Structure 1
Amino acid sequence: MRQDIMELAVLMNNKAPGTKLLGELVVAANAGQTLEQIAGTLAARAEFKAEYPLFQTPKEFGEEWIASILPEADAALQAECVQIVEAHINGGGSIPALVVSVQKFMSDQTNATGALKPLIDNFTNKVTVATYHTITQEAADEWAIPATVTSNPLTVAAGNSTVDTA
């Protein structure tokens, strides 16, 4: 469950959660909260609302969020994903449910094929750097994952060294 929580933090905030936030979320999980409830907790935080204000339309949210989670996707794929986000929200689906569905897909390495491979690799590399920050280095505070962490596996070492100098 801890790995799932790390992945949710990366998807929702493009940040490593830090030990304070991760600890709170793991306690919630151990108390029986589902991943969707934990995603709801992340969505209710001031940090998430500052990035994705409540006044955004589903399309505006989708455009901003998809650009953040799929920075290496071409414009056509990003536009298609925005339509999916819009349909989900306009159909009554919640952002936490959406994020958990995306997290399950992105964390499944069997999906890392063809045109999706660099997108899944980008996510995996961001999670690896976030894990290094929060678990290995035991840094207490949240930390923005640098845009230099990409689908290229060599960017993980560079991202980790950024953690070491932060």
Structure 2
Amino acid sequence: MRTLVLNAGYEPLAVVSFKRALVLVMNDKATVVEHIHGEPVWGAAGSYDRPAVILLTRYVRVPGSRRVPVTRRGVLRRDGHRCGYCGKSASTIDHILPRSRGGADSWENLVACCLRCNNVKGDRTPQEMSWELRITPQPPRGGQWTVRGTERSDPRWEPYLALAA
């Protein structure tokens, strides 16, 4: 079981284990906002609801720029596992401007790509191939990207992650 942690201002911070969330609640560092219905957890001081979403009692300062690191998995997820050139199912990523020509490993230069298009394109640019990109590659935004662990989210988290988008 995993729990979404919200800052005192309801900003999503992280996803932690059920045990860690319960320790924060038991030490009065957080309160339960959404709980999982069922049997409560019994402790020495009483019973506690099983937390799905907790709210920190004190505000935690977050560094200003939370840049999302560029990863193969992230590019595929951002593009919905669809090829940026033909729209079919993608399993690889492609550098729009090839690395051999100075193309960077950046969100703006990477696109999800099917194996066929990747092999046909090779070391050329889409303009040289007379190909059009179906999307405009850009860095991902929103709570699902800046809060680690929300790839497999709980339906109870959705209203809180939508606030961060």
* Greater C-alpha radius of gyration: 2
The higher-RCO structure (CA 8 Å, 6+ apart) is 1
Higher strand share: 2
TM range (shorter): under 0.3
Higher helix share: 1
TM-score by length of 1: 0.26
